[in-house]
Amino acid sequence: MTATKSAPLISPEALEALSRPPLEASTLPPECYWSPQLYEAEAEQIFRKEWLCVGRVEDVPEPGDFFTASIVGEPVVVVRDGDGEIRAHLNVCRHRGCQLVEGAGSVKSFRCPYHGWMYGLDGTLRGTPDFRETRNFDKADYPLHAVRTEIWEGFVMVNLDPDATPYAPRVSETTRWHSDKYGLADFVTTHRWDYDLACNWKIYVENAMEEYHVPWVHAETFQPVTPMKGWIEFPDISEQPWILMVGQFPGFTLSDSGDALLPVTPTMADCPPEFDGMPIWLSYPSFAVLPMLDCMLYYLMHPTGPERMALSIFLCVPPEAAAAYKDGVEGPLKAGVEEYARNIPPFVAEDNKIAEMQQVGIRSHRATAGRFSKHEGIMWRFDRWVAEKAYGGAPLNGNGAHANGAGRNGAA
């Protein structure tokens, strides 16, 4: 399904209401969160064409190591080949379409479990048992379908569109919020949490990118230590396809005491107070990074249907702390990692519950589009981007927010 500018998939009135300045605009209409037709448009125009994060380089440390992912029904395998390069292929045998591997592991080659076709780690077809009699067949014509792959700050980014523009130039201006001071590439993953949620993927992304819910959803977790008034949105920081908000709480950590229990990234000493604390950075459409002075969380929010999504959350820590934890070395580093990991599920559970509750409510036949508060300006920008990409909405004029007078939130 292709959304066209001449035939928008949501009403012209809804698009016009969304295109107004944020404090005059209406939110996306309810059907955007449950319509199979609109979901298919998002799958085709966004998730099969945009860059998506699927993991980290440390997930495939040695040649032959692989892990699998699913992107709107497309099975993908990420592998480190014999030359040390990280590649991605469609996880589909070219013979009769069987999935090659499941989960994660280490292999010397990929052998189809159905009829034994064998592929090199680079995707070339190496073996086709008992295929000599087949006429006009050349193994060179049947490699695994390659998936565009880039490494950015230690993250493995993939794109199903072979003609997509590179990822790095799309996020080249992240240094404006001093992302380089956080040392994103140096952290190592120690924990992963996976959730199958009964909500549309946009509900979760929108929740992640506004602070308006903090006093109510996180009354016992975040509000006492990161109150709503301390969160600042930066709608004007870049016209690239990402958005940013910062909890301006310098020195914020995930420990019980608030003190850093893990080695602090040295370059954080040079980070301006405006961006020190807990940034939440979203790379469109569904990859969020939450760096802190001694650790990092990242979120992958992938749709699995109009009203379901797969959420994966990862804790990454400095390499010496990761080594201590993984090697079981008792001491302050291992204890610190365990304490940080223990403090994550409670606030995630709060977000998960409210997201599923919103999905129930937005399904009401009386549900209508809502309005944006001053704390939801970058959410407005994200919604406009989705409408432009998937529904046939009018193109954004720059980042929209500055021209329409939407400033930073929290301090107003």
pLDDT value for 394: 61
CA-to-CA separations, 340 to 251, 315, 337, 345, 384, in angstroms, rounded: 15, 8, 5, 10, 35
Whole-number Å distance between alpha carbons of 153 and 167: 12
Whole-number Å distance between alpha carbons of 297 and 317: 9
Residue 268 has pLDDT above 70, yes or no: yes
Q: Give the residue-averaged pLDDT of 107-127.
A: 98
- Write down the residue that tokens 């070339």 correspond to: 124
Q: Give the residue-averaged pLDDT of 28-35.
A: 98
- Share above pLDDT 90 across residues of the chain, in percent, rounded to a whole number: 92
- Write down the residue that tokens 């720059």 correspond to: 398
Angle at 373 between CA 371 and CA 376, to 5 degrees: 100
Residue 188 has pLDDT above 80, yes or no: yes
Residue 362 has pLDDT above 60, yes or no: yes
SS3 109: coil
Q: What is the distance in angstroms between the CA of the first residue and the CA of the last residue of the chain? A: 43
pLDDT band of residue 8 (cuts 50, 70, 90) is confident
pLDDT band of residue 145 (cuts 50, 70, 90) is very high
Cβ distance 164 to 148 under 8 Å? yes
As a whole number of Å, the CA-based R_g of the chain is 22
Cβ distance 289 to 281 under 8 Å? yes
pLDDT value for 402: 29
pLDDT value for 396: 53
Whole-number Å distance between alpha carbons of 277 and 225: 11
SS3 221: coil
CATH of 60-148, one of 2.102.10.10, 2.30.30.40, 3.90.220.20, 3.55.40.20: 2.102.10.10
Least confident of 40-49, 188-197, 397-406: 397-406
Architecture of domain 12-50+168-391: Alpha-Beta Complex (3.90)
Whole-number Å distance between alpha carbons of 78 and 91: 9
- The two tokens of residue 334 are 């291992």
pLDDT value for 412: 29
pLDDT in tens, 210-254: 999 999 999 999 999 999 999 999 999 999 999 999 999 999 999
Residue 310 has pLDDT above 60, yes or no: yes
pLDDT value for 406: 36
In the chain, what is the greatest distance between 2 CA atoms, to the nearest angstrom? 76
Residue 403 has pLDDT above 70, yes or no: no
Domain spans of the chain? 12-50+168-391, 60-148
Residue 399 has pLDDT above 70, yes or no: no
- Share above pLDDT 70 across residues of the chain, in percent, rounded to a whole number: 93
Burial grade of 336 (CB within 10 A; 0-12, 13-18, 19 or more)? buried
In b/e form, how buried is each residue of 53-85, taking b as 16+ CB within 10 angstroms?
bbbbbbbbeebebbbbbebbebbbbbbbbeeee
pLDDT value for 400: 39
Closest CA to 33 of 194, 197, 243: 197
Residue 387 has pLDDT above 80, yes or no: yes
CA-to-CA separations, 269 to 28, 174, 290, 303, in angstroms, rounded: 41, 18, 18, 38
Please give the mean pLDDT across all residues of the chain. 93
pLDDT value for 107: 98
Residues 6+ apart with CB under 8 A from 145: 89, 90, 92, 94, 123
Burial grade of 196 (CB within 10 A; 0-12, 13-18, 19 or more)? exposed
The DSSP code sequence of 289-340 is EEE-SS-EEEEEEEEEETTEEEEEEEEEE-HHHHHHHHTT--SHHHHHHHHH
Closest CA to 302 of 5, 134, 100, 69: 69
Residue 397 has pLDDT above 80, yes or no: no
In this predicted model, which residue has the larger pLDDT, 183 or 5?
183
Cβ distance 177 to 244 under 8 Å? yes
pLDDT in tens, 58-109: 999 999 999 999 999 999 999 999 999 999 999 999 999 999 999 999 999 9
- The two tokens of residue 179 are 């992302």
Name 74's bridge partners. Answer: 71
